[in-house]
Amino acid sequence: MLDVPKFTVNQTPPSPDKHPEAAENSPVKSVNWSDFRDHLATADRDGRRQWIYPRKVSGQFFRWRTWFSWLLLGIMFGGPFITIHGNPLLLLDIVGRKFVVLGQIFWPQDMIIFAVAVLIFAVGILVFTTAFGRLWCGWACPQTVMMEMVFRKIEYLIEGDAPQQRELNRSPWHAKKLLKKISKHGIFFALSFLVGNVLLSYLVGWQALYQIITDPPAQHVTGLAFMVAFSLLFYGIFARFREQACTFICPYGRLQSLLLDENSIVVAYDYRRGEKRGPLRREQKFGERRFAGFGDCVACNNCVTVCPTGIDIRNGTQMECVHCTACMDACDAVMAKTGSPRGLIRYASLNGIERGEPLRFTPRLGGYLVVLTALAAVLAVMVFTRADAEATVLRAPGSLFQQMPDGRFSNLYTIRVVNKTSREISVELRLEEPIGNWIDEPLKVMGGKLLVPPQQLLENSILVELYPAVMKSGTTPLVIGVYSGGKMIQTLKTAFIGPRN
């Protein structure tokens, strides 16, 4: 067994800086601060947080991300008010055990669909990440979209670019600084309150949320508590926690080591073209740089100053990289000024960088897309071919078989029918087996037809009558067909109890 020294709460391992001989003899490995993989860019040697001040970024990828973010934000804030066939676009009513996805209502009876959806989601993440890296994180993750496209832009508008923000935070408190900080954090909290309310509307519906807002607070203490909790949570994330939500909490980045391979598409630095790094002198041309052994990287560090997680992409693929393409835009701008080809930092694979091949649509990527499409098709078929109503039948508790004067036997059952739609459904029950019963109505519904209200559960009693000629000793299997609109939507199996002779 490895002999590792133990330290109490008040003891610390010997510092290698103060006691070099202790560091040499100690089995505890000291941190190599020159190695980027030995420490986080957001923490100093004492474990204190180093605040990240990313510079403003501009370029084609940033413009594409901005347009895509507007689309996602529009869907997010407009989602509670968008309806499909009278149902909301998305509703996750956990208390009421009612879930609406793309206008389709799901109940606890649809648990098999939910299980398949979760399985497909997990497999989709594995397949998508293996093929396309963390494309989701940089382009569609709500944390990235809200932080970089909303809160960060407000911060730039109030406090200025990264150098101005750094100088403002270092300066002593004065009236102008106080005004900027109060304005920024006031807007941040107001936006967090808005975001919290929007997400709460996905849990209770916008009608219920509107009622919570307009009614006196004493009538909705629970709803108000959730509203405040959501607001404080999002304010803390976007005002203080920021990139640490990606590096410390989100497990997605840590899965990269398991999911990425040499053919995965990542944001990559072309070291074959960029090394050896060195500044570009005004009188020097790139031909002279090449002759001197330098590459296209002019060591401007713009790719580092724009990174929202504070990493240097030139060190290779890292856990903190969210593939936001900020370094790609910054590097392309420098390459354009120096007259070098764009793409020193680009979307590429490790094999593409090493072999110098351009990124192209490969059969492997095509196969992944086929797998994802097939999985999505399976889920779509399950969702759109499911029945509008679902029924269950049970024998009435405590009831026995009854014998009629003409020799027939009867059993009493309880049937429950769930209407999964937003309209009233008429349900008809027919006895499918056994056949040859010679009775006009072998299955009778107490109270007439079954009219199930929209999004409701209806419970009723049914009576089944059989002649002894079609019965078996003891129990006889029954098959009941459930029809709606003249079409069979379900078959129910149960047992008919009779005498054992």
Task: Give the pLDDT band of residue 285 (cuts 50, 70, 90).
Answer: low
- Nearest Cα residue to 331 out of 323, 343, 321: 343
CA-to-CA distance for 72 and 452, rounded, in angstroms?
37
- Partners of residue 481 on adjacent β-strands: 430, 491
Contact residues for 193 (Cβ-Cβ < 8 A; gap 6+):
227, 231
Proportion of the chain above pLDDT 90, given as a percent: 28
pLDDT at 230 over 50: yes
CA-to-CA distance for 43 and 311, rounded, in angstroms?
12
- Nearest Cα residue to 266 out of 333, 325, 306: 325
Full strand arrangement of the beta sheet holding 104-106: 90-93, 98-101, 104-106
Task: Give the pLDDT band of residue 1 (cuts 50, 70, 90).
Answer: very low
Q: How many CA atoms lie within 13 A of 154 on its CB side?
A: 19
pLDDT for the residue numbered 224? 81
Contact residues for 422 (Cβ-Cβ < 8 A; gap 6+):
85, 86, 87, 105, 454, 455
Hey, is 58 helix, strand or coil?
coil
Give one DSSP letter per residue of 206-256, joined into a string: HHHHHHHHHS-GGGGHHHHHHHHHHHHHHHHIIIIITTHIIIII-STGGGH
Q: For 381-410, write each residue's pLDDT tens digit.
A: 887 777 778 888 988 887 888 888 888 899
Angle at CA 473, nearest 5°, toward 471 and 478? 45
- Token pair listed for 242: 């920021």
H or E element that contains 430: strand 425-433
pLDDT for the residue numbered 179? 95
Query: Averaging pLDDT over each range in 70-74, 262-266, 403-407, 454-458, which range is the top one?
Result: 70-74
Angle at CA 30, nearest 5°, toward 28 and 35? 140
Within its chain, how far is the Cα of 375 from the centroid?
Answer: 17
Average pLDDT, the chain: 83
pLDDT for the residue numbered 185? 95
Q: For 92-136, write each residue's pLDDT tens digit.
A: 888 777 888 877 788 777 778 888 888 788 778 877 887 888 888
Tokens 């030995």 belong to residue:
38
Q: Which of the two residues, 289 and 321, has the higher pLDDT score?
A: 321
Task: Give the pLDDT band of residue 488 (cuts 50, 70, 90).
Answer: confident
Q: For residue 142, which amino acid is it?
A: P
* HEC sequence for 435-486: CCCCCCCCEEECCCCEEECCCCEEEEEEEEEECHHHCCCCEEEEEEEEEECC
Hey, is 164 helix, strand or coil?
helix
Q: For residue 130, which amino acid is it?
A: T
CA-to-CA distance for 344 and 300, rounded, in angstroms?
13
Q: For 15-37, write each residue's pLDDT tens digit.
A: 444 444 444 444 445 656 555 66
Q: How many residues does the chain have?
A: 501
- Token pair listed for 427: 């349900």
Rg (CA), the chain: 33
- Token pair listed for 425: 């459904």
Question: CA of 484: how far to CAs of 390, 425, 481, in Å?
Answer: 11, 7, 10
Poorest-pLDDT segment among 220-224, 294-298, 331-335: 220-224
Task: Give the pLDDT band of residue 5 (cuts 50, 70, 90).
Answer: very low
Q: For 330-384, write each residue's pLDDT tens digit.
A: 999 999 988 889 999 999 888 888 887 766 666 766 777 787 788 788 888 887 7
pLDDT for the residue numbered 385? 78
CA-to-CA distance for 414 and 279, rounded, in angstroms?
83
Instruction: Give me the phi and psi of 115, to 5 degrees please.
Output: -65, -45
Determine contact, residues 238/146, Cβ cutoff 8 Å. Answer: yes
Mean pLDDT of 163-177: 93
pLDDT at 435 over 50: yes
- Nearest Cα residue to 184 out of 230, 229, 141, 240: 240
Determine contact, residues 329/57, Cβ cutoff 8 Å. Answer: yes
Q: Which of the two residues, 153 and 26, has the higher pLDDT score?
A: 153
pLDDT for the residue numbered 105? 81
Q: For residue 160, which amino acid is it?
A: G
Contact residues for 355 (Cβ-Cβ < 8 A; gap 6+):
none
Q: Which DSSP category does 300 fall into?
A: -
pLDDT for the residue numbered 437? 63
Mean pLDDT of 194-209: 88
Hey, is 296 helix, strand or coil?
coil
User: Domains in the chain, ordered, with CATH?
Assistant: 1-30 (no CATH), 54-386 (no CATH), 389-497 (2.60.40.10)
Determine contact, residues 67/74, Cβ cutoff 8 Å. Answer: no
pLDDT for the residue numbered 166? 93
Question: CA of 44: how far to CAs of 28, 452, 468, in Å?
Answer: 19, 64, 86
* HEC sequence for 134-154: CHHHHHCCHHHHHHHHHHHHH
Which contacts of 446-454 are long-range, i.e. CB under 8 A and separated by 24 or more positions? 450/415, 450/417, 450/426, 451/424, 451/425, 451/426, 451/427, 452/389, 452/417, 452/418, 452/419, 452/424, 452/425, 452/426, 452/427, 453/419, 453/424, 454/419, 454/421, 454/422, 454/423, 454/424, 454/425
pLDDT for the residue numbered 284? 63
pLDDT for the residue numbered 30? 62
pLDDT for the residue numbered 286? 57
- Token pair listed for 155: 């911060």
- Token pair listed for 189: 């909290």
Give one DSSP letter per residue of 64-81, joined into a string: HHHHHHHHHHHHHHHGGG
